Amino acid sequence: MRISERLHAGDPTLSFEFFPPKDDIGFWDLYKTIESLKPLEPTYVSVTYGAGGGTRRKTVELVGRIKRDVGIEPMAHLTCVGATRDEIATVLDELRQQKIENVLALRGDPPVGSTTFVPVKGGFGHANELIAFIREHHDHFCLGAACYPEGHPEAESRDADLTNLKRKVDAGVDFLISQLFFDNADFFAFRERTQRAGIAVPMIAGIMPVLSVGQTKRFTQMCGAKIPAELLRRIEAVEDDVEAVRHIGMYHSTQQCLELMRGGVAGIHFYTLNRSTATRAIFQLLRTGP
């Protein structure tokens, strides 16, 4: 199933994102976690992609097993990090052999300790180049790309970020998935700006429930998102109470999702950090209604 087909079917898509652990025990624990989600009937699950060969093989293996054995539609992430065109072409061939139809094409983050992305010789420096390459040589894939409601942290300006996004879409993107955000006003304003810029592909909202104050602060600093002042005040007031933080985070994310669905969002994509309990609870509520 191509994700684009479901996006045009009417109801918003609901999906989860996971990353493949480096060790075999963690890999099989994650596989069982994803398998347990089947009764919820998510539209798809996505699996992130490691640089330098670290988890690339596990990404291909995991999405193949999800497709073949679990019966949930998978989407494989693919980045430009540490890979030549030939190496990327090999991964795409392997994904096709596994009958994977959906790929999220990303530039990827700079290596740890570096603030600048530098492509390898014979590789790609930007996501739009990767997207164009896939469209030219592997056009059977349904392609997603990332967007940033609060602006990419490396972009010179919001306008420059929007120009870069349009390059990606024009290169052949079928849909967009947003970076995490906590204020729906940012998402709706961004969606309106993209539409005025002629970007017409469906946009899926990326949601990450707050489970830890410190972890959430680290993530927002890395991706350029902000925590609304009132939400920050509430979680900092109970920072040492894990369950209290979790409940506040789940409530905020649930209200976010309900408002997004009322606002006609194309889909909601949960960043699980490989912990599905909170996102599963929110997912079930959205499936059954408040």
User: Residue holding tokens 């995490």?
Assistant: 180
* Whole-angstrom distance, CA of residue 104 vs CA of residue 175: 9
- Strands 13-18 and 44-47 turn out to be parallel
Catalytic residue among 5, 17, 73, 230: 17
- DSSP labels for 237-281? HTTT-HHHHHHHHHHHHHHHHHHHHHTT-SEEEEE-TT--HHHHH
Active site annotation includes 17: yes
Q: Which element (helix H / strand E) includes 47? A: strand 44-47
Q: Whole-angstrom Cα distance, residue 158 to residue 142?
A: 27
Question: Which residues make Cβ contacts (< 8 Å) with residue 142, sequence separation at least 6?
Answer: 2, 3, 4, 5, 101, 102, 103, 174, 175
- Active-site residues: which are they? 17
